[in-house]
Amino acid sequence: MRKLLVEGVGTFFLVLVIGLTVVAPGAGAMAPLAIGAMLMVMVYAGGPISGAHYNPAVTLALTLAGKSPKNDLVPYIGAQFAGSVLASMAVKFLKEGSAVVAMEPQAAPAFLVEILFTFALAYVVLNVATTKKAAGNSYFGLAIGFTVMAAAYAGGGISGGAFNPAVALGVTVMGLIAPAYLWIYFVANLAGGALAATVFRTTNPDLK
Contact residues for its own copies, defined by CB under 8 A: 2, 5-6, 9, 13, 16-17, 20-21, 25-38, 40-42, 44-46, 48-49, 90, 93-94, 96, 109, 112-113, 116, 120, 123-124, 127-128, 131, 133-134, 137-139, 141-144, 146-147, 149-151, 153-155, 157-158, 199, 202-205
Give whichever of 82 and 199 is closer to its own copies, judged by the CB atom: 199
Give whichever of 43 and 166 is closer to its own copies, judged by the CB atom: 43
> What is the rounded CA–CA span in Å between residue 87 and residue 93?
10
> What is the rounded CA–CA span in Å between residue 145 and residue 41?
8
Least distance in Å: CB of 97 to its own copies? 11
Give whichever of 150 and 182 is closer to its own copies, judged by the CB atom: 150
Give whichever of 45 and 179 is closer to its own copies, judged by the CB atom: 45
Distances, alpha carbon 145 to alpha carbons 54, 120, 151, in Å? 11, 12, 10
Least distance in Å: CB of 178 to its own copies? 20
Give whichever of 39 and 77 is closer to its own copies, judged by the CB atom: 39
Q: How many CB atoms lie within 10 A of CB 164?
A: 30
Query: Which residues fall within 8 angstroms of residue 94, CB to CB, at 6 or more apart?
Result: 19, 20
> What is the rounded CA–CA span in Å between residue 196 and residue 194?
5
Least distance in Å: CB of 86 to its own copies? 11
* CB neighbour burial string for 191-204, b if at least 16 within 10 angstroms, e if fewer: bbbbbbbeebeeeb
Least distance in Å: CB of 14 to its own copies? 10
Least distance in Å: CB of 175 to its own copies? 18
Least distance in Å: CB of 154 to its own copies? 4
> What is the rounded CA–CA span in Å between residue 163 and residue 55?
8
Q: Helices 56-64 and 107-129 sit at what angle, rounded to 10 degrees?
A: 60
Give whichever of 99 and 179 is closer to its own copies, judged by the CB atom: 99
